[in-house]
Structure 1
Amino acid sequence: MLRKGMERAFVVHRRQFIAAALGFPAAAIGGFPAAGATMTYDAAVTTSRAPLQAVPRDRELVRFATLAANSHNTQPWVFSAHGNEITIAPDFSRRCPAVDPDDHHLFVSLGCAAENLILAASTLGWRADPVIDGDRIVITLEETPPAASALAAAIPVRQCTRATFDGRPAPPETLRRLENACLEPDVTTILLTEHAAIAKVADYVLEGNAAQMRDGAFMRELVNWIRFNETEALASMDGLFSLASGNPSLPSWLARPLMKLFFTESGENKKYREQLVSSAGVVVLAAYRSDTPHGIAVGRACQRFGLQATALGLKYAFVNQPVEVAALRPQFAASLGLGERRPDIVMRFGYGPDLPKSLRRPPELVMRS
Structure 2
Amino acid sequence: MNRRSMLLGAAGTLLLGGAGVAGWRSAVGSMSGYDDYAAHLRAPIPARPDMADLVRYATLAANSHNTQPWRFRIEDGAIDILPDLSRRTPAVDPDDHHLFVSLGCAAENLLIAAGATGRPGELEIDADGARLRYSFSEGASRSDPLFAAIPARQSTRATYDRRPVPAEHLEKLRRAAGIPGVRLVLLSDRVLMRQVRDLVVAGNDAQMGTPAFMAELKQWLRFNPRAAMTSGDGLFSAASGNPVLPDLLGGYAFELFFSPTSENDKYARQIDSSAGIAVFLAEAESPAHWIAVGRASQRFALTATSLGVKHAFVNQPVEVARLRPELATLIGERGMRPDIVMRFGYGPELAFSPRRPVETVLI
What is the TM-score with the length of structure 1 in the denominator? 0.88
Pair 1:60 & 2:53 matched? yes
Indicate which of 253, 257, 265 corresponds to 1:258: 253
AA in 1 matched with 2:186? L
AA in 2 matched with 1:108? V
| Alpha-carbon distance in 2 for matches of 1:32, 1:280 | 35
Partner of 1:74 in structure 2?
A: 67
Bigger relative CO (Cα 8 Å, ≥ 6 apart): 2
Partner of 2:217 in structure 1?
A: 222
Partner of 1:211 in structure 2?
A: 206
Partner of 1:339 in structure 2?
A: 334
Partner of 1:298 in structure 2?
A: 293
Indicate which of 163, 169, 177 corresponds to 2:164: 169
Partner of 1:43 in structure 2?
A: 36
| Alpha-carbon distance in 1 for matches of 2:32, 2:179 | 41
Partner of 1:6 in structure 2?
A: none
| Alpha-carbon distance in 2 for matches of 1:360, 1:62 | 12
Query: How do 1:1-369 and structure 2 match up within 5 A?
Result: 40-54=33-47, 56-133=49-126, 134=128, 135-368=130-363
* SS of residue paired to 1:101: coil
CA contact (8 A) 2:28 2:227 kept: no
AA in 1 matched with 2:79? I
AA in 1 matched with 2:159? T
AA in 1 matched with 2:100? F
Partner of 1:24 in structure 2?
A: none
CA contact (8 A) 2:27 2:246 kept: no
1:301 to partner: Cα distance: 0.2
| Alpha-carbon distance in 1 for matches of 2:31, 2:99 | 34
The number of aligned residues is 336
Partner of 1:9 in structure 2?
A: none
| Cα distance change of structure 1 residues 228 and 32 upon mapping to structure 2, 3 Å threshold | closer
| Alpha-carbon distance in 2 for matches of 1:197, 1:38 | 39
Residue ranges of structure 1 left out of the alignment (5+ in a row) = 1-29
CA contact (8 A) 1:31 1:232 kept: no
Partner of 2:20 in structure 1?
A: none
AA in 1 matched with 2:122? D
Residue ranges of structure 2 left out of the alignment (5+ in a row) = 1-25
1:183 to partner: Cα distance: 0.6
Cα shift readout 1:176-200 (whole Å, capped 9, x = no counterpart): 1111111111111000001111101
Cα shift readout 1:328-357 (whole Å, capped 9, x = no counterpart): 112211222213321000000000001000
1:38 to partner: Cα distance: 12
* Percent of matched pairs sharing the same residue: 53
| Alpha-carbon distance in 2 for matches of 1:310, 1:79 | 26
| Cα distance change of structure 1 residues 39 and 279 upon mapping to structure 2, 3 Å threshold | closer
Q: Tell me whether 235-244 or 334-343 shows the greater mean CA deviation.
A: 334-343
Aligned structure 1 segments of 4 or more residues deviating by more than 3 angstroms: 30-33
CA contact (8 A) 1:182 1:189 kept: yes
| Alpha-carbon distance in 2 for matches of 1:53, 1:367 | 20
| Cα distance change of structure 1 residues 39 and 244 upon mapping to structure 2, 3 Å threshold | closer
CA contact (8 A) 1:209 1:321 kept: yes
